[in-house]
Structure 1
Amino acid sequence: MTAIGMHVLLIHLSGTPLYAAEIANSLLKLGNEVDALVAERNVDENYFNEDISISTVGISSNKETLLRSLSPLTYYRLLKEIKTIDPDVIHITQGFFWLNPVLPFLTSYSLVFTDHEPEETNDVTFYDRTQLYTWSKHHMRSVADSIIVHGEYLKSVLMSKKVPEDKLKALDHGTYRYYRQFDSRQDKDKNELNILFFGLIADYKGIDVFGEAIPAIMENCPRATVTIAGGGDIEKYLSDEVVSLDSVRIYDEFIPDNQVGQLFRQADVVVLPYKSGSQSGVLTIAYEYRTPVVVTDVGGLPEVVDNGETGYVVPPNDSDALASSILDVIKYPEKKQQMERKINEKVESELSWDIICEELVEHYNSLLRG
């Protein structure tokens, strides 16, 4: 039986803290005391259970953040906040360079760091591409007592970077339950077979390859529709022919939380045609909605897809294979329903945060005992 009752501080200082919130909510459910320390500009208390204490760090606009980073008071206040919370375990679920100067003063705590992108090849923001970001991550890896990665592939990447194997813990990445609260009662259009690409637009996402597959999909399945949704210049990756199709809907903007669920609920298949990558939160949202996926054989994606059962794994940069697998899902209802059942089994037995966090708590306890 999992030991419970510890005090955990989750620190998430970059990006939406939904990942931290899913872990926090499950840790609380398991009987632990949980605090969260998140960036001021990204905090949304709706992510977290009301019994979780939330503190904010003054990371706001880029200009304000840069100015504050020059002040020693910033680091003093951050350290003081952590010391006041005084947890048993500190789990950095998403770091930021403000943390690095205070890490040497936190050696009395068990320190855990989730490394989401060990390869460091697919970072898309300005900060992600700086040497400061690279140094910050390497420093966190060196001082952490344990590094969490989501999958054996990512574990092997860090081992190739000379990170000791006994410092690494591979866990499944749970599904994002949060979006369910925004589900509308709008029924799915049964006359459409919708293919969804969702997420931030970047070169490595393979949207151009997906675009090459779309004409063949439409030719073989006239009921097919395509939704491409995410912030970025989507149209530069697609031909004029594809952009002009009535069956292709493009939303080149950030999709707010209250609209995410509707997109996934309307989808018959979610496509991740990535040319490279480590993992994807998009895949776990698709699974939360029990929607089959077609992914490419890159990074840790194949570990999450039971090929032929919960979706398909195809070679990267292969538009023919991509089109064929998408058609295999949407044209055969019985096959799709069978996949949906398999996804449900997988989520219930492997990808529930409650199950994953039982193992995580055991890991925390092993660090405390050590």
Structure 2
Amino acid sequence: MQNVKVCIVGPSKHFLSGISYFIMRLANSLSASCSVSVICYRNLLPRFLFPGRAHVGKEISNLEFSPAVQVYDGMDYNNPVTWYRAYCHLRRTKPDIIILQWWTSSVSHMHLLMKIMGLSLRSRLVIDFHEVVDPLEESIFPLRLYSRLMGKILRKDLDTYIVHSTSDKFLVAKRYGIDAQKIHVIPHGLYDHYGRVMDAKKARELLSIKEELVILSFGLIRRYKGVPYLIKAFEQLPESIVKRSRLLIVGEMWEDGEELLCQIKSSPFTEKITLVDEYVPDSKVPVYFSAANIVVLPYTRASQSGIAHIAMSFGKPVIASDVGGLKESLGRYAGAIFVPPMDSDEIKKKLLLNLKSEKIYNPPALGWNKISDQYLKVVLRQ
């Protein structure tokens, strides 16, 4: 399919996020079978408004685009010169298909510009939903109005819509009034670019962890991630287990930071809880997952979880809430253990049953070659 030209649009490594990794993995895989270009959003919004501003611009990821991918890394929210250069990039590469990555309404005006540019070039337009509604944006009235207005204009009359779970398909169809026949489900690929699992003892030494049992919560700390329910579950474990355990909470705090810190400080087992408030560099990811006996994702809602796809790539058992697309993404993984959302008692029970397990599970067949093949079948179907 070398004659097919695809352009993927999404965030650059400057504002690094899980979506940045997604477009790099997808673009690199697609480049094996077609001509691929990428337009990266370099600056998404004023930095002081971004909860993760501490890591903006830092070189913390080793992943790069393949040399075969033509990249324009420099479209900024506030610089029309960069918008024109993005248009020049499109005119030069002449994509048959433009795939817009949707995860936040903060990039809506840039997405609308890309839509207009794509229509002028007669490209087919695709939107890939990584989130149905951002809960933070939905909770702030002006942002909610902006998101709904801009989103309605953006989503109107596109050629194809992509989601990563069946539950999201029905949510997107209902919430945005999109014909369900135009919405296609493509699984999320594994984030297996961090390397192999390390020796657990060595990993714990690197983290200065002396305990033999390690429970890991990983990823951005936001209200819907449900970390307080995990802390409560940890506190309910028998004291004999807690003495041998370390609850490791690792991730950049975006919401409810003070409440979480107070909960940890007031815990009867506060000395057994470690909070690492940072966006973790790629080099440290294998250390944290290798040190863990088990990964817990106590989400109260979810479309997908990049963390689940990291945990699966390292073969770790995962306790996850039975919510949204989370169960679907982990459904083919033998190491998945599901609990009702917001249920600390069930998390505790599953921890007791599985915490001491040293089994390494085989990840499901979610390689990016298969994911990119499904992408091409979907976007060329129209």
Structure 2 length normalisation: TM-score?
0.80
- Cα distance in 2 for partners of 1:147, 1:269 equals 35
Q: Does 1:316 align with 2:344?
A: no
Q: Does 1:121 align with 2:124?
A: no
What is the DSSP-based 3-state SS (H/G/I as helix, E as strand, rest coil) of the residue aligned with 2:349?
A: helix
Q: Does 1:303 align with 2:324?
A: no
- What is the match of residue 351 of structure 2? 326
- What is the match of residue 21 of structure 2? 18
What is the DSSP-based 3-state SS (H/G/I as helix, E as strand, rest coil) of the residue aligned with 2:8?
A: strand
- Cα distance in 2 for partners of 1:360, 1:245 equals 46
- What is the match of residue 47 of structure 2? none
- What is the match of residue 5 of structure 2? 7
Q: Is contact 2:203-2:288 (8 Å) kept?
A: no
Q: Does 1:47 align with 2:64?
A: yes
1:81 to 86, 89, 93: 89
Q: Please state how far the C-alpha of 1:301 moved relative to its aligned partner.
A: 0.8
Give the share of equivalent positions with the same residue, in percent: 25
Q: Is contact 1:122-1:277 (8 Å) kept?
A: no
- Cα distance in 2 for partners of 1:36, 1:305 equals 29
Task: Quote the RMSD (CA, aligned, Å).
Answer: 3.1
Q: Is contact 2:39-2:75 (8 Å) kept?
A: no
- What is the match of residue 62 of structure 1? none
- Cα distance in 1 for partners of 2:291, 2:200 equals 11
- Cα distance in 2 for partners of 1:264, 1:103 equals 40
What is the DSSP-based 3-state SS (H/G/I as helix, E as strand, rest coil) of the residue aligned with 1:187?
A: helix
Q: Is contact 1:273-1:294 (8 Å) kept?
A: yes
Distance change (3 Å), C-alpha of 1:125 and 1:194: farther
Farther-moved stretch of structure 1 (267-276 vs 187-196)? 187-196
Q: Write the deviation string for residues 147-195 of structure 1: whole angstroms up to 9, x where unpaired.
A: 1100100001012122101211101111112322897998344962211
Farther-moved stretch of structure 1 (220-229 vs 289-298)? 220-229
Farther-moved stretch of structure 1 (207-216 vs 119-128)? 119-128
Q: How many residues align?
A: 345
Farther-moved stretch of structure 1 (244-253 vs 278-287)? 244-253
Structure 1 length normalisation: TM-score?
0.83
- Cα distance in 1 for partners of 2:200, 2:223 equals 35
Q: Write the deviation string for residues 247-294 of structure 1: whole angstroms up to 9, x where unpaired.
A: 321102222222222211222211111122222111111111111111
- Cα distance in 1 for partners of 2:271, 2:377 equals 52
2:215 to 183, 186, 195: 195
- What is the match of residue 34 of structure 2? 32
- What is the match of residue 215 of structure 1? 235
- Cα distance in 1 for partners of 2:201, 2:239 equals 28
What is the correspondence of 1:128-277 to structure 2 with a 5 Å cutoff? 129=143, 131-161=145-175, 162-180=177-195, 187-189=202-204, 192-217=212-237, 219=239, 221=241, 222-232=243-253, 234=257, 236-237=259-260, 238-242=263-267, 245-277=270-302
> One-letter code of the match for 1:40?
R
Q: Is contact 2:264-2:270 (8 Å) kept?
A: no
Q: Please state how far the C-alpha of 1:50 moved relative to its aligned partner.
A: 2.4
Q: Is contact 2:5-2:35 (8 Å) kept?
A: yes
Farther-moved stretch of structure 1 (145-154 vs 102-111)? 102-111
Instruction: List runs of 5+ in structure 2 lacking aligned partners.
Output: 44-56, 205-209
Instruction: List runs of 5+ in structure 1 lacking aligned partners.
Output: 60-64
> One-letter code of the match for 1:19?
F
- Cα distance in 1 for partners of 2:221, 2:138 equals 9
Q: Is contact 1:314-1:322 (8 Å) kept?
A: yes
